[in-house]
Chains A and B, each alone.
Chain A
């Protein structure tokens, strides 16, 4: 009887594991949806990489050229808290995933689009072909940034506040 119960429990655990793994969407070329967010995943022409980008780009319309007669290109926007980005990524991924990335010497690069107030619109991710990351991981990173992070932005005459979007490149390395 005891053996029967043990066998049953093992089977249940295995089924749950399979369900969990299946829920984790592997990164592959195409358009994948997770929690209502559709991501466009394309192959990079530079080598074995994928480029992953949320398809909700409604806020990425062309920036205005001028406000009150001042060209917004003169904003010269700077971000002063870039060093906080890595903390947010680490928090989103958790220790286990970070360890996997570190072992594989895998890094993530790309750029983040911010609103004038410093909040995050969306993120472009570039990951390697056989990445340890799933789309769920990238979604979690993006959601964590959207809900928990604000860039400190400075510009000439605070012109950046009139921009619809501002982008800064990043590269996250998990070796350390």
Chain B
């Protein structure tokens, strides 16, 4: 769980970045010792206790941002040297030089895939390693002992930089942190947590990517952040995280959001990838509409056609901004307004039943395909009114039919009688629907054009 309010600035001249502490009830840390001999369990334990992981979010210009996990694993000598002055909260990417940090900095994807491991000595980048994905291959059938491998890796023939000769299997001790009880922000994890050394080391295929003359003992000033050793990992290599992102963000402005609010919203944007229908709406808004996302006073979130703004509840951003359903809901309203209904929608009251029911059908079609049938019809709420079960059941059946039982997105224009069926369900929803929506009157001649123009023969979701 990220502690967003405790974020630290990690900006570079080229990148907007923040580091965010995270609370974990279980974590596993690789105790790298790539340039030294094998250490005792006591030393590994001491290093594990001083190690920690943060969430790193960064973005370049208006590209979509990216998240990584950054883990700091200090060297034993550094911990002993600093003693009580060693404080996790002081260590961050921008302070490594000033703190004369000696130890490893590991970058990995949120799914655990390791990208690179940097070794710092006295605040300066000393070596750069990459951890290659060799899943399925495993270590050699008769793996050499760790100390032998570490010795060979530490004295690799650096003249072969860039080639495979600098790579080898390395046994990296794993320390596992297991916490019991319920933890909250501000709790000291040391009180309820214990470290355990895993019985089995983790065989990793590690490459020493340090160039022959690296590090330069007297580097000239260079304004390019990619020349900054501490940002080296962001700018080089095939796994260049700086090149991440999906398209431009021209259609959605978030300039008034704080960095932490942008991060929260990014969580929802990232989740759109799992649902093609949602992603399609997002892409349409990005390329064919424009909207500003703000924080303000509202229940959850609301789209205002007059100002072309989506306002999220400013008091609970961690709940509202991260919710992918909320984002898809409001973006669908943007799409309805700016690409389909125009002035017609501007004249309607907020929460108008025609507008909202069309959004509900949109969400249920996407949910039926992505999540299965279990949540379809959730927006039928009036359980105490006679005929409720039949109304909800009819609606579920209709969504099943439209999606071929969840197998494919429909081409609504080719379905005979779709308009009539839609209006019939809308009129039933007027009786059994969400209390916020059923106070308005159904406009009988307002057909679901937004749905029909979205779910048409050109939708690229069924491949």
Contacts and interface: CB of A to CB of B under 8 A. Distances in A.
Nearest to A125: B389
A45 B373 contact: no
A44 B319 contact: no
Given A71-B299, A124-B389, A60 B325 contact: no
B375 A169 contact: yes
Given A46-B397, A169-B396, A74 B323 contact: yes
Contact of A69 (B316, B323, B393, B394): B316
A57 B383 contact: yes
Given A57-B383, A74-B320, A76-B323, A42 B376 contact: no
Nearest to B397: A46
Contacts of B390: 42, 44-46, 51
Interface string B289-327: 000000000011000000000000101100110110110
B121 interface: no
A168 B375 contact: yes
B88 to A, nearest CB: 26
A53 B376 CA distance: 19
Contacts of A111: 377, 392
A45 B300 contact: no
Interface string B333-375: 0000000000000000000000000000000000000000111
A171 B381 CA distance: 21
A74 B373 contact: no
B435 interface: yes
Interface string A128-172: 000000000000000000000000000011000000000111110
Contact of A62 (B316, B323, B325, B435): B435
A107 B316 CA distance: 43
Given A46-B397, A57-B383, A156-B323, A74 B374 contact: no
A46 B394 contact: yes
Interface in B252-285: none
A126 interface: yes
A70 interface: yes
A64 interface: no
B378 interface: yes
B445 interface: no
A69 B326 CA distance: 17
B300 A71 contact: yes
A82 interface: yes
B384 interface: yes
A45 B394 contact: yes
A99 interface: no
Interface residues of B, number: 29
A76 B389 contact: no
B93 to A, nearest CB: 30
B316 A169 contact: no
A56 interface: no
A153 to B, nearest CB: 12
Contacts of A71: 299-300, 313, 319
Interface string B368-411: 00000111111001011001011011101100000000000000
A60 B315 CA distance: 30
B374 A73 contact: no
A46 B400 CA distance: 13
A102 to B, nearest CB: 20
Given A57-B383, A62-B435, A126-B393, A167 B323 contact: no
A156 B319 contact: yes
A18 interface: no
Contacts of A9: none
Contact of A60 (B313, B316, B384, B394): B384
B326 A74 contact: yes
A115 to B, nearest CB: 14
A93 to B, nearest CB: 21
Contact of B374 (A45, A46, A124, A169): A169
Contact of B319 (A53, A126, A157): A157
A171 B394 contact: no
Contacts of B397: 46
A70 B435 contact: no
A70 B319 CA distance: 8
A49 to B, nearest CB: 8
A170 B315 CA distance: 36
**What 5 pairs across the A-B complex have the smallest Cβ distances?**
A168-B374, A60-B383, A51-B389, A169-B374, A74-B319
28 contacts: A42-B390, A44-B394, A45-B394, A46-B394, A46-B397, A51-B389, A51-B393, A53-B389, A57-B383, A57-B384, A60-B384, A62-B435, A69-B315, A70-B319, A71-B300, A71-B313, A74-B320, A76-B323, A76-B325, A79-B374, A82-B374, A111-B392, A124-B393, A126-B393, A168-B375, A169-B396, A170-B374, A171-B373
Interface of B: 299-300, 313, 315-316, 319-320, 322-323, 325-326, 373-378, 381, 383-384, 387, 389-390, 392-394, 396-397, 435
Given A51-B393, A74-B326, A157-B319, 10 more contacts: A42-B389, A45-B390, A46-B397, A62-B381, A73-B300, A74-B320, A82-B374, A156-B319, A167-B378, A169-B376
